[in-house]
Structures are given as structure tokens and as C-alpha cells.
Amino acid sequence: MEIDVSGTVCPQTVLIVRRCLAELDPGEELRVVGDYPPAERSIRRSCHKHGFDVSSAPVRDPETDFALRIRVPSAANPENAAPETS
């Protein structure tokens, strides 16, 4: 699954990602692209806190854009993951 959170800011970006992760099964991956660097940090922090594996993905313009791959591990329970705000 892929979502684009460009044009949105925290905490909306984290809430959007949380909803999408709740739809995925263990082992599945969510790709998130966006254009607001503080959102990338918030998404990473929230995902790490709740046991998701997060890695960077290639982007067109690394100066302004970001892309993340978030994998749902078998131990994570995205429905109970509290959203983080920054």
C-alpha cells in the first residue's frame, strides 16, 4: 500500500499513517511519501515506538521530499498504537 501525505502537517500525517497501518497484516509494507520534514521525524518516532520497522525509500528530490517504508512485524498491534504528535 502507498499513501501520499504531501501538503499535510503533524499530527495529521501520523494519524493518516496509523489508520493505514491498521489495515495491513503482519509482514505487509506501507510506503509513505511526503514533503514536510518534521512529519517524517514524527512518523519515524511513532512507528519505532510501536514496534514497526521503518526504512528510507528513494525520492525524486531529497531536499524537499521524503519516502518511508514501514513494515508491519508480527508483534506489532497497529490498532492499539497511540498516535504521536510533535
| Catalytic residue annotation | 10
DSSP label at residue 67: E
**Residue 75 and residue 73: Cα distance in Å, rounded?**
5
